[in-house]
Amino acid sequence: MRFEPRRNKTVSPRTRRLRVTGGALCAAALAATLVTGCGQDSGDKTAAETSEAAKVLPNQTTSPSGSPSETAQLTAEQTERKELLSTVKVTADKAVTTAVGEVSGGKLTDLDLEGLDDEDDDDATGSPSPTGSASPSPKASGSPSGTGSPSPSGSSTSPKWVAEVVEKDGTAHNVTIDAVSGKVVDFSPDADQSAADKQELAAQITKATQTPQQAAKVAMSRQKGWVTSMALDENDSQVLVWKVDVVSKGYNKTTFDVDAVKGTITDEQIDED
């Protein structure tokens, strides 16, 4: 709206000048308004061209604001990954080591990086949640010094690694690790296991000769970035694989199937979101 009065002030005096003084002064007036050339009827033309120039130039001053468009290119999922990963200080390999250390002779079968709980997201509005995930980091580092209540509150608002570690007989244990401080905030056996579940898990960890760290290295050789998930499972062809999620520096997620015996990539799926 600023440009309307400026456009009126610019056009009218020049138009009057051109009509009074004629073609001799037309060239000077046109040069001042970025218009070249002048004829006998240039007074009316100049007014129209100057008016059009005034309309175009304001648009040019607003369009170069290209920097916001770069952030606008990130999808909601990519933005969420960026905000979450910016708070994580414990890498996947360190989380594996910590989780396995909680179960004597155990082997990791699943690891996932999780952010805010769904309940917390429902209670909070959209914008505070990213800042909320970053601000609790100091509290998270202090929470392990206390016992009981401080650690659950820290783990619910901080990013965390949730791992499944399986004993040789197939007994599974859930280990939750604060992804900022690296401390174990929860440890419990899987109470919902059946005898068949244990038997299946025992067979899988015996068959898998590739460790999760080796599978992650294979996936990272194809796509640089952050490993955010690893899971030992059978694919559609009943081949035992490590499913490894890697988030690139552009915050795209790719899931790789790494043969748990051969150590080769058998499938690759890119998340379009």
Q: Which residue has the higher pLDDT, 214 or 135?
A: 214
Strands (E), 106-159: 107-114
Q: Residue 33 in 3-state DSSP?
A: coil
Residue 144 is predicted with a pLDDT of 34
Residue 156 is predicted with a pLDDT of 59
Residue 56 tokens read as 């175009």
Burial class of residue 5 (count of CB atoms within 10 Å of its CB; 0-12, 13-18, 19+): exposed
190 pLDDT more than 90: yes
User: Rounded to an integer, what distance in angstroms lies between the CA atom of residue 195 and that of residue 171?
Assistant: 9
Beta bridge partners of 267: 257
Its pTM surpasses 0.85: no
Residue 73 is predicted with a pLDDT of 87
Average pLDDT over the chain reads 73
70 pLDDT more than 70: no
Q: Nearest-5° angle of CA 127, CA 130, CA 133?
A: 140
- CB proximity list for 105: less than 8 A, separation 6 or greater: 167, 168
Q: Nearest-5° angle of CA 159, CA 174, CA 180?
A: 20
User: Rounded to an integer, what distance in angstroms lies between the CA atom of residue 10 and that of residue 7?
Assistant: 5
Q: Which residue has the higher pLDDT, 158 or 162?
A: 162
Q: Which residue has the higher pLDDT, 272 or 126?
A: 272
| Residue of 91, 181, 184, 89 lying closest to 140 (CA atoms) | 181
Task: Find out whether 258 and 220 touch, Cβ atoms under 8 Å.
Answer: no
Residue 216 is predicted with a pLDDT of 98
Confidence of residue 245 (pLDDT cuts 50, 70, 90): very high
